[in-house]
Amino acid sequence: MSSSISRRTVLRGGLGGLAALAAAPVLASCSGSSDGGDDPSAAASAAASVLPSYIPYQGVQPDITGEGGIPNVFFAYPADPQPATTEKPGDGSPISASMGTFAPIPPTADRNPYWAELNERVGSELQLSITPGADYPQRFATAVAGDNLGDIFNVDGALSQLPQFLEAKCQDLTEFLAGDAIADYPFLANLPTDSWRGTVFNGRLYGLPVQRGITGSQIIFTRDDLFEARGVDPSFGSLDEFLQLCRDMTDTQANVWALTEVPFVVLQAMVGIQNEWMADGSGSFTHALEVPEQKDALEFGRKLVEEDLIHPDGVGGANADAKAWFSQGSAAVIEDTYTAVAGFFARNTIGDAYRLGLQVAPGPDGEPAPMWQGMPNNSFTSLAQADPDRIRMLLKVLDWLAAPFGTEEHLFRSYGIEGVTFEFDGTEPVLNQDGLAYTANGAFPVEYLVDAPKETYFPGMPDVAQAVYDHQAVAVPASSLTAAWGLYSETQGRLGGQLSTMLTDARNGILLGREPVDSWDDTVAQWRSGGGDDIRAEYEEAYAAQES
């Protein structure tokens, strides 16, 4: 199944809003990787009794209501957004908060009318400590060591002994948010249950999710205009058809290759492997790297490399230029996430002829493969311990910051002040140059403290929103989420990065033909003895506690 969208839709709505969407990056996630890498934002024993009730916000109606994990769809920004609150949430006292960001760091409040207005609307001065994302783990560790975290802080989930830190230094939010208590914070109640599972440690609620839903799921994108020019169908119903498609789209003499890189996440799904950790009926855990089909994925990826079907600079793994190759036409197929869609259009260099395809990969039986869901959260945010009244005030502020798409509060938080930072094009808010600077390209860092549920919305591009929804409507019901979500493993947090590097190196050695596929057995044994079995045992213990 294929969804294809063209450049013409972009031109009808202009590029201002699209540029902001494309430039709004995602903070380095605290979620796990398909390699068994860091998954430290997962939590232990997320008993249902401590999870907040899910109360969807009904004040703004989407064009398509998402179900079963599919985001709501808006074909345009709702006309005449109305306030969803009646009073300022702050109490006039300063609020200190820290977070990392991969967006540009905005000017400070004294030089930033957006930030100044944000303080006014919140009713308290937001004293934000903003750190480039790559540097935030060190900044966070330093703040923890110096006991200088501030009132609110995005948590680096890779911190050693995370549950102990949360219990010692962070506010237990269970009494404030568990069950129907969340109703006092209606926008936080609008966050889905799966996201809250990532904030529960030792059976208590210690944070607020920075929700992302399925937007981080890896899928196959195709340049359908390039396929059409070669007379090749971009859809495929099996691994063999995908291989032939890649052969047909490769012309090394013309410096054109089918693939930017080996699409290994999707390949694993195509051979029938579920997402990362799998739990059987008895609660025993198996990792994706351990199942026999892992060798099938490696064998197929190796063939793609052997036949020279991958851009030569991408055969060794992830390359920062992959999106550029795809946009420039030196590669016609790329594995990326739903969040990449806006950026693909923003990078278009050929005008109206550009067409982007979203392919539903088939599984072994020809039905949709078990797409590996991205982690429900980007990260999570905790509060410093304080008296109950201050905690309630801080939660009110965070609730305000999580106002849903289509409310006046969300319009301001995302776009700022009409006539100063943005203008309307019809009902679509479009950031101007000052707005891009003041709002950090529409990604002002408070979105890394808490955020509204992610919707499917592309300014001026309703056809794109429909195509993304059409893809998700087929792919998501067959998708899989790692069984380790909502569980905590100390060994994973301590050794996950090291194990991930070892697995990646071994995989690349096989894909590049340096090692035989059967060498993967030794890699799995090394992973198990080097910490994998300990991670498994800790997840199984946490899973059993959660199920009891």
- Could you write out the three-class secondary structure of 336-383? EEHHHHHHHHHCCCCHHHCEEEEECCECCCCCECCCECCCCEEEEEEE
How far the first Cα of the chain sits from its last, in Å, is 41
Q: What domains can you pick out in the chain, each with its CATH number? A: 49-214+379-461 (3.40.190.10)
Q: Is 342 in contact with 212 (CB distance < 8 Å)? A: no
Provide the token pair at 37: 């890498």
Give average pLDDT by consecutive 10-residue segment, the chain, 548 residues.
54 34 38 35 54 97 96 98 98 98 95 98 98 96 95 94 96 98 98 96 96 96 98 98 99 97 98 97 97 99 98 86 95 98 93 96 97 96 99 99 98 98 97 97 96 96 97 97 96 95 97 98 99 98 87
| 480 secondary structure, DSSP code | B
* Angstrom distance (rounded) from CA 57 to CA 187: 7
SS3 (DSSP) at 287:
strand
Burial class of 254 by CB neighbour count within 10 A (0 to 12, 13 to 18, 19+): exposed
pLDDT of residue 490: 95
pLDDT of residue 47: 58
Residues 6 or more apart in contact with residue 4 via CB below 8 angstroms: 224, 234, 355, 356, 357, 358, 467
User: 443 φ, ψ to 5°?
Assistant: -120, 50
Burial class of 68 by CB neighbour count within 10 A (0 to 12, 13 to 18, 19+): exposed
Residues 6 or more apart in contact with residue 319 via CB below 8 angstroms: 260, 261, 311, 313
For the stretch 187-212, pLDDT in tens is 999 999 999 999 999 999 999 999 99
User: 535 φ, ψ to 5°?
Assistant: -60, -45
Q: 140: phi > 0 → left, psi -120 to 50 → alpha, else beta; which?
A: alpha
pTM of the model: 0.91
SS3 (DSSP) at 3:
strand
CA separation, residue 244 to residues 224, 230, 316 (Å): 16, 13, 22
User: 431 φ, ψ to 5°?
Assistant: -65, 135
Q: Using alpha carbons, select from 190, 155, 152, 162 the residue that is nearest to residue 58.
A: 190
CA separation, residue 70 to residues 121, 132, 215, 455, 470 (Å): 32, 31, 9, 9, 10
Cα radius of gyration (the chain): 23
Q: Please give the order of strands across the beta sheet that includes 126-132.
A: 126-132, 95-101, 152-155, 377-383, 208-211
Q: Using alpha carbons, select from 335, 334, 342, 346 the residue that is nearest to residue 249.
A: 334
Burial class of 539 by CB neighbour count within 10 A (0 to 12, 13 to 18, 19+): buried
Q: Which helix (H) or strand (E) is 22 found in, with range? A: helix 16-23
* Angstrom distance (rounded) from CA 131 to CA 126: 15
Write out the DSSP string of 45-89.
---GGGSBPP----SS--SB---TTPPPB-SSPPSS---S-SS-S
